[in-house]
Amino acid sequence: MANKEKLPWDLEEEILSRVPPTSLDRFKTVCKRWNALFNDKTFINNHKMTFQFVLSTRSKIYSVSVNPKVEVRELTLNNPGLKAQRHKNLFATSGLLLCDVGNGAVVWNPWLKQTRCIKLEVNEPSLDFLGIGYDNNKRVEEIVYKTLSVYMKDLGSQYTWKIHDFASDTWIDQEIEKTKYSRRITEGSVTIRLTNLSVVSLNGKFFKFCDLPSGKNRRRDALALRVFREDRFSLLRQCHVTKKIKIWVTKNKIDNRYGGDVKWMSFMEVSIPTMPDLEHPKFNSQPSYFIDDKRLVICSCDETGRAWIYVVGGNKLVSKTQLDSVVDPWPLHCTYFPSLVLVPGGQREEAELQVQFQFPYLCFSYMVIRFLYIFRFWLKL
């Protein structure tokens, strides 16, 4: 009888998929099965509060989910560093968000409502944050996160890497060759413009890994590099003239070895002449995107700065949705899949407070559903 009264696993999983994310990290210790479930990307992606894009405007920050209906939610902000000013850049790397706020940065997990402010040693107007990485040493249990930024020491001098270590809260400078970082590269009569939004982190590492398969590009061609399925790269290119979109992915999983032998393969080609431009150089706006079961989902701004979600599949535009609730034009945006990665040294006050209220709610919900299930079983006897 005891085994027959146990709650079915699929129903138990359904209950947990409705639990607020701030409680999930605490519930990892309940049992090994729950811990394994919370580490499963499928569970995270199917959670009722999951989302795929984050947008930042002058006054607010939003999450956008496409499952398949497009839903926009305003993310609550509990950190003055996120409210103070418009962000210079917004990056999603290693399961965390990095918001460049000009005089420093804020590392953020919006799902767990955790933040940590990073302050500059001295004022560096030319400094730009590029992303978050970590020391990927499997022999060391603790992951040491670092932020990567770049700045010009003196007017007219070459750029220098600036790295912040989360554990020690210290900064180090690292000289780089002039050819390894440049705002513009000229090849013949074609000028390729590089932006900070072109930087991605995979396996915690930042370095020049391999050449891209797209070849030369026109100035207004959209070109966006992203991580694909957590262990590969993908590259989206849209031709400004024909509006044709082509996506390449790396054939094999990426490790930390030199990437000279990386093989790229064509993954998707879409010809939609009515597709709008996905990049607007004047406003430093690149598309954000993800690929899911042969479906391409893109977040981009139109020529007026309004944000849109485009869903492409089967060589046609399946749907396009204007994000009317995103009130300010030209929002920063990035692809972001929620995670339970804790912000090292992050503030947990709000999260801890919510856990205290949510745990009794979860227990009550669990007991009610368990009672109904057992009652239904008894009725059949």
pLDDT at 257 over 50: yes
State the pLDDT confidence band at 356, using cuts at 50, 70 and 90: very low
Mean pLDDT score across all residues of the chain: 78
Which residue is it, tokens 């995270």? Answer: 44
In one-letter notation, the amino acid at residue 365 is S
CB-based contacts of 352, cutoff 8 Å, min separation 6: none
Q: Are residues 116 and 347 in contact, defined by beta-carbon separation less than 8 angstroms? A: yes
Least confident of 103-107, 204-208, 300-304: 204-208
What is the number of other CB atoms lying within 10 angstroms of the CB of residue 371?
A: 10
pLDDT at 252 over 70: yes
Model pLDDT for residues 310-348, shown as the tens digit of each residue: 999 888 899 999 999 998 899 999 999 888 888 888 776
In one-letter notation, the amino acid at residue 11 is L
Indicate the SS3 state at residue 21. helix
Q: What is the pLDDT at residue 71?
A: 94
User: Running DSSP on this structure, what letter comes out for residue 323?
Assistant: -
> With pLDDT > 90 as the criterion, what percentage of the chain qualifies?
21
What is the number of other CB atoms lying within 10 angstroms of the CB of residue 310?
A: 21
* Residues 181-202, mean pLDDT to the nearest whole number: 46
The β-bridge partners of 104 are: 119
Q: What is the pLDDT at residue 289?
A: 95
CA gap 99, 77 in Å, rounded: 13
E strands in 241-314: 245-250, 264-270, 288-292, 295-301, 307-313
